[in-house]
Amino acid sequence: MVHYPGAEMVFGSYHPMGALYHEAVSITKARQAIKSLTDSLAKCKVDVLSVGDILRIGTGLDDRQKLEEFAMSSITYDTTATALTAAEANLMSTEYKRKAVEQLDTFDLIDAIITRPSLTLEKSTRNTPLTSTAYNFSPLTNLVFTRDQQVVTAKGVVLSQLYSKQRAPEVHLIQFCLEKLGIPILGQIPPPGKLEGGDFLPAGKDLCFIGLGIRTNSRAIAHMLHNQWFGTERVAVVKDLLDRKQLRMHLDCVFNIAGDDVCVLMDSIIGDKSSAYRLVDEYTLVEGEYRKTQENVEFGAYLNSVGYHIIPVTDRMHNNYGVNFINCGNSRLITTDAETADHISKSPCFNGSIDNIDFQEITKLYGALHCSTQVFREGRNRTMPKPPRASDPLMLATQLSSSPAATLPPVRQTTNWCLVVAPTYFAQNPETFQDNAFMQTKAAQTMTSLEIVEQACTAFAALYSALKSNGVNVKLFHHEAYHDTPDAVFPNNWFSTHSDSSSLVLYPMKYPSRQRERRGSMMHFLKGQYSNVVDMTSHEDDEDAAVTKALEGTGAMVLDRVNKVAFCALSQRADSSVLEEWCNRLGYKPVTFETKEAIYHTNVMMSIGTSMAVVCADSIVDGDRARVLGELKKCGKMIIKASEEQMAAFLCNCIELRNNDDQKLLFMSEEANNSLTENQMYHILQHVDKIVPVEFSIIEKVAGGGVRCAIGELF
């Protein structure tokens, strides 16, 4: 199925960005591009129907009535007149609209369905009772991308829940077309699930790929898994948690299948050394349900494990939509970038044919050939080789929930396990902005929301890669738009773990947006690790932050875990009575103090490692400073004094972790690292084996939290 663009694309070109276009297009050239595509498909013996062809099918009375009803639902009458006579009201009625629609020919009805006109009518003082004062349209400007409105799996057709609200009516139109063709529909993804067809690639009856990223979310994938709509034995969920770029919005932007054992993959996302690599969770059908059998496998490694030969393509080829080709079966490809076509054809593992066509006018809309087609019937099914299994899928729970503390002593200051949350829907939080002086308004106002997320994910990717490459074990989560948790990248505030009592502590968060961060998937994981749950969230009020008595975890408290001392700068996020309760329940000694300026969390002015502490002593009020430093010395800590300027650079927001070789590593941001004096650097390296700096400035500036805030320790 394809769509020949019409007036709707002209409307879109009036404001390209508003229509989700890259730039304005020529309707004549766009239609010629689709004609070139259909001609090439015909050469490959592919039967092609356009959306218009489908809508025009049938000459019977029932066909005509259904088309008229659909057109009527696409046309809206409106008025601001407050008092209409019965005769005037009749001119606004469904009956009047029906009489008008009945006079239109089939092509006119289709135009109404695709352009979706809305007429504003007002009372007239002459000529006719009502007069049209405005004609507005809500055209289906992206209908040319017929891939997105549904996915066609081995089980059948699933209707999408498109990410963009303005594209939602496209799904209703495609549903109408499918019903007209007599193609059964398994169902539709319910909100808040989001699913777009560009994220789905079938690979035979045994395996399929589904992308999780900026257009398809985990709720939609979970719904499909639960209902077994994929229809394959295995489902590879390809997660984009570290990249989130508009040019790579769908899986089919970076990956495509060129043959039974050949695929094309964007080179710059291959390997865990990349800052934009994808991670795969594999689900396998076991005893009538899908169970996770592999987790966070690098995409290239996964493809190799299931028998694919990878043809890597450059960023330039990707930018020219070289990956977004069509495979017509038997490795007969239709491409739109000559350089990519030549590159694929010269690969020793490719044994097919390629027809390269001019599709440039359509690529101005952020899509290409694969986006512009949908396959409803395929003449072959193949079985890919199965990847090696480390163990039986029934052992899944044991594999994925093995205790992070299993190899650790009962009490230790640092751990080699941590939990992190990718900032996939990161933003400046207006709630927390009220009392976080480290947040910079200018940083958030000079970029679009998408640019902020992209840069935040790039920064997080650097942290995630640094943790993994330095031998720290990481449990990775992400959040979705519907969670409404802009600060989710900072998980250390709402929980802490304690190996000596196998305890998970849940903390009262001041603001409702932060209370929502305690999500089911993470809670399920954490409660599977720790037998004793200390829940202090009863101190929260989920509507009025002023009523909440907050104690925001290891942000509010900086812990000496060995000596069981909790250092706490009292603030709106650290209530003294809740701290006292926490210390009584966990067996800690509280050391409270005041700061000169309002500091929202203690961990931005203090960090405690195994044998040292980095502290901005000048930020503590004169009456408390000597006592706090004395308590740190009693704990046996060498004190590294940071200036207030260094505190602003998040030097004190560092964290000591251990790797699997038991080396002590100090993670901090590059800005923090650059602020160190030679003397400070020398003394720090007497206490840790290595300093690991990562570029984290976008998150520090927009959200007012640093590297330490982004790491939830698992003891």
Q: Say if residues 84 and 92 touch (Cβ distance below 8 Å).
A: yes
Query: CATH topology of 145-372 equal to that of 417-714?
Result: yes
The predicted-structure confidence for 221-246, as pLDDT tens digits, reads as follows 999 999 999 999 999 999 999 999 99
The helix, strand and coil proportions of the chain, stated in percent and rounded to the nearest 5, come to: 35, 25, 40
φ/ψ (deg, to 5) at 279? -120, 140
Which CATH number does 417-714 carry?
Answer: 3.75.10.10
Q: ω before 192 within 30° of 0 (cis)?
A: yes
Q: Is 63 helix (H, G, I), strand (E, B) or coil?
A: helix
Q: Say if residues 350 and 370 touch (Cβ distance below 8 Å).
A: no
CA–CA gap between residue 325 and residue 37 (Å, rounded)? 11
pLDDT score for 585 = 97
Select from 203, 176, 325, 197 the least CA-distant residue to 264. Answer: 325
pLDDT score for 438 = 82
DSSP single-letter state for residue 393: G
DSSP single-letter state for residue 194: -
CA–CA gap between residue 432 and residue 447 (Å, rounded)? 20
pLDDT score for 400 = 40
pLDDT score for 50 = 98
pLDDT score for 403 = 47
CA–CA gap between residue 306 and residue 296 (Å, rounded)? 15
pLDDT score for 158 = 99
- Is residue 71 packed enough to be buried (19+ CB in 10 Å), middle (13-18) or exposed (0-12)? buried
CA–CA gap between residue 95 and residue 188 (Å, rounded)? 31
The predicted-structure confidence for 692-713, as pLDDT tens digits, reads as follows 999 999 999 999 999 999 999 9
Q: Say if residues 676 and 690 touch (Cβ distance below 8 Å).
A: no
CA–CA gap between residue 612 and residue 638 (Å, rounded)? 4
Q: Could you say which residues of the chain have pLDDT below 70?
A: 378-410
pLDDT score for 433 = 78
pLDDT score for 378 = 57
pLDDT score for 410 = 62
Q: Where are the domains of the chain?
A: 56-137, 145-372, 417-714
Which CATH number does 145-372 carry?
Answer: 3.75.10.10
Select from 183, 534, 243 the least CA-distant residue to 375. Answer: 183
DSSP single-letter state for residue 125: S
pLDDT score for 634 = 98
